[in-house]
Structure 1
Amino acid sequence: MSSSISISTRRLLAGLSVCGAAAGSLLLLGGSHTTSHAAAAPDKDAVVQKLAQDFPLLGRPGSGKDLAADRPVTSAEFAEHVPELIPERGRLVSRDEARTVLIVPRTDGQVCLEVLFAEGGAGANCNSTGDAPILVTYGKAIGVVPASVEQLTYTLTSGRQIEAKPGTDGVFTAPADALSVSYSDASESHTIDLMPASAKPAKAQIPTL
Structure 2
Amino acid sequence: MIHGYDYRLVQFPSVVGQSSTWTKVTAIKEALKHYEYVVFLDADAMIPYPNLPMEWLFNYWDITPNTLVAMALDPDAPHNHDWNGSTLLNTGFIVAQQSPRTQELFEAWESCPTETRYPGCLKWGREWAHEQSAFGHHLRYDFNRSEDIRVLSCAEANGCPEVADTGCVGELVRHYWGAKKSVPGAVGDAILRYFLPQLHAVFYQNAKDLVVNMTEHGFV
TM-score by length of 1: 0.29
Structure ranking higher on relative contact order (CA contacts 8 Å, 6+ apart): 2
TM-score by length of 2: 0.28
Higher-strand-fraction structure: 1
